[in-house]
């Protein structure tokens, strides 16, 4: 069934404005139509690659189909979320990386900015926390504010072998056991269908733990539209059908192989061209507190997907650009000076919002002080939008490349569009770079080194190698 009316969906369309990337605005500092033409074949090749392989589990491209193949799962998640809301005072996600950043981002985007501080009658669900670290102080702080026996813990790990998540699990399950709580009652696992340790753990509880599947062909950072993100979102009362409908809507907008007609391909081409020009910093700057953590989510998506040593032909390419998170207008007072006058090594992507959830009128006052008086009679929405426009303009006048993703408002449907747009942009850019966008060999090496340091069986060789590596030298300690 279609989501809302066609008119409403079209009014909620997310668009990309890249005028301030082009030579028409930036003179010789900008991209020309000729530059875009020069990579046309490569861009079309990337489009064809993604179109031909979409949905393929073996290539980790299952995420493309998530807007379409989850009807039964969504119904189940909505029913479970209803029970969780009835039964529990707190909902805690145990996970890290791709298993944590999506749920936090959606919470930030679509819930009240002080959600946990609201009275229970004003909240749609239980208090919500995501433990995406193993900082002992953070875990202790969580335990100070929740009551474990009144908490639903959603353990999210595809492998069930991630030290951080499983450490969180061990601590929490020990507390529940000691409190005499049946773990199967207070935990939900989101994991691989057959592989992985959470399946074994569930088996040890007689298969009684409620489980959701993180599909085989969906990697962590592309998983927010799978049960990884859908269950926490549904518990929070977020319209998960709207999120999926938004993703499907954006998928349709990205169904043409032309830069002029496909927003994700346009963004990928801009990023690719500027990358080749040596611009190696990619800033995402939403002008919305609700989208602040979208920048965190995007940083992982971009960095882990495109930061690769070799391409598909085995060439050493050391690909990728460094994503930077920024927030408008806050970071106008911290980073923008550098963006306007520093090196020409950045592309800035703004996310602008046309209608904020509230406008907040600014009262008249201090009329005799011109620096203050002019603000009265406007609204905070007008001010933030004016500052957004002014910053983009100032960057353009300084010859600095920037483009804007326009969101009519921040809601489940537009958030779904934005996520899918950024995922598609990443997939197209990876295909243009001829690299594997969906693996993370560098992260795996760090994991193995941690195993060795903590004495995990089977990693003795690695430990030996680490012990014989250059030792710390007092000479360089100050």
Nearer to ligand PA5, 155 or 270 (CB): 155
Among 123, 158, 241, 292, binds ligand PA5 (CB under 6 A): 158
Nearest to 305 by CA among 436, 157, 445, 159: 436
DSSP letter (8 states) at residue 18:
-
Question: Which entry of 42, 447, 448, 463 is annotated as an active-site residue?
Answer: 447
Reply yes or no on whether 304 is catalytic: yes
The distance of closest approach from Cβ of residue 435 to ligand PA5 in the complex, given in angstroms and rounded to an integer, is 15
| Residues 294-353 interacting with ligand PA5 (rule: CB under 6 A) | 304
In degrees rounded to 5, what are phi and psi of residue 133? -160, 175
Q: Do 405 and 349 form a contact (C-beta atoms < 8 A)?
A: yes
Identify whether 40 is a catalytic site residue: no
- Cβ 395 vs Cβ 348: under 8 Å: yes
How big is the site for ligand PA5, counted in residues (CB under 6 A)?
14
**With CB under 6 A as the contact rule, which of the stretches 91-99, 137-145, 266-274, 426-434 interacts with ligand PA5?**
91-99
The total of other beta-carbon atoms located within 10 Å of residue 288's CB is 21
Contacts made by residues 178-184, CB under 8 angstroms, sequence distance 24+:
179/148, 179/149, 181/148, 181/149, 183/209, 184/208, 184/209, 184/210
> Is 99 an interacting residue with respect to ligand PA5 (CB under 6 A)?
yes
Question: Which residue is nearest to ligand PA5, using beta carbons?
Answer: 220
Query: Which tokens sit at 351?
Result: 């996310």
Question: In which order are the strands placed within the sheet that holds 127-131?
Answer: 127-131, 90-94, 151-156, 187-191, 210-213
From the list 93-101, 137-145, 276-284, 318-326, the region that binds ligand PA5 by CB under 6 A is: 93-101
CA 223 – CA 225 distance, rounded (Å): 5
Rule CB under 6 A: choose which of 62, 67, 98, 125 binds ligand PA5.
98
CB of 122 to ligand PA5, least distance (A): 33
Restricting to residues 187-246, name those near ligand PA5 by CB under 6 A: 219-221
Q: Which of residues 375-434 bind ligand PA5 (CB under 6 A)?
A: none
C-alpha radius of gyration, the chain, whole number: 24
Residue 112 designated active-site: no
Residues that are catalytic: 304, 333, 447
| Site for ligand PA5, rule CB under 6 A | 96-99, 157-159, 162, 165, 219-221, 304, 440
């Amino acid at each position: 069934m279609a989501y809302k009316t066609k008119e409403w969906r079209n009014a909620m369309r997310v668009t990309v404005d890249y005028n301030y990337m082009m030579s028409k605005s930036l003179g010789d500092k900008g991209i020309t139509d000729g530059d875009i033409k020069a990579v046309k074949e490569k861009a079309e090749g990337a489009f064809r690659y993604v179109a031909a392989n979409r949905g393929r589990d073996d290539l980790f491209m299952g995420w493309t189909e998530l807007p379409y193949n989850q009807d039964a799962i969504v119904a189940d998640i909505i029913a479970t979320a209803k029970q969780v809301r009835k039964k529990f005072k707190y909902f805690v996600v145990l996970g890290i990386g791709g298993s944590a950043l999506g749920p936090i981002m959606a919470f930030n985007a679509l819930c009240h900015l002080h959600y946990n501080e609201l009275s229970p009658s004003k909240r749609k669900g239980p208090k919500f926390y995501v433990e995406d670290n193993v900082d002992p102080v953070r875990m202790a702080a969580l335990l100070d504010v929740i009551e474990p026996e009144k908490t639903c813990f959603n353990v999210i790990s595809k492998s069930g072998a991630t030290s951080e998540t499983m450490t969180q699990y061990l601590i929490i399950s020990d507390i529940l056991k000691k409190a005499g709580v049946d773990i199967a009652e207070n935990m939900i696992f989101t994991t691989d269908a057959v592989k992985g340790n959470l399946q074994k753990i569930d088996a040890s509880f007689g298969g009684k733990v409620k489980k959701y599947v993180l599909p085989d062909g969906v990697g962590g950072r592309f998983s927010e539209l799978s049960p990884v993100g859908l269950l926490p979102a549904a518990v929070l009362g977020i319209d998960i059908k709207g999120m999926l409908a938004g993703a499907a809507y954006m998928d349709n907008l990205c169904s043409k192989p032309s830069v002029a007609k496909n927003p994700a391909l346009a963004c990928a081409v801009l990023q690719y061209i500027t990358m080749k020009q040596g611009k190696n910093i990619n800033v995402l700057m939403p002008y919305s507190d609700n989208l602040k953590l979208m920048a965190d989510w995007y940083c992982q998506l971009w960095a882990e997907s495109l930061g690769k040593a070799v391409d598909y032909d085995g060439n050493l390419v050391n690909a990728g650009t460094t994503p930077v998170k920024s927030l408008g207008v806050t970071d106008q007072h911290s980073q923008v000076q550098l963006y306007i006058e520093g090196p020409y090594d950045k592309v800035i992507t703004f996310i602008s919002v046309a209608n904020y959830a509230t406008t907040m009128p600014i009262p008249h006052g201090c009329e005799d002080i011109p620096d203050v008086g002019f603000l009265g009679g406007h609204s905070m929405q007008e001010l933030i939008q004016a500052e957004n426009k002014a910053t983009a303009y100032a960057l353009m006048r300084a010859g600095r490349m920037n483009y804007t993703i326009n969101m009519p408002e921040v809601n489940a449907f537009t958030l779904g569009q934005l996520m899918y747009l950024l995922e598609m942009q990443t997939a197209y850019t990876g295909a243009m770079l001829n690299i594997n966008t969906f693996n993370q060999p560098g992260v795996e090496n760090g994991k193995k080194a941690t195993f060795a340091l903590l004495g995990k069986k089977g990693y003795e060789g690695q430990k030996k190698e680490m012990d014989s590596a250059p030792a710390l030298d007092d000479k360089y300690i100050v």
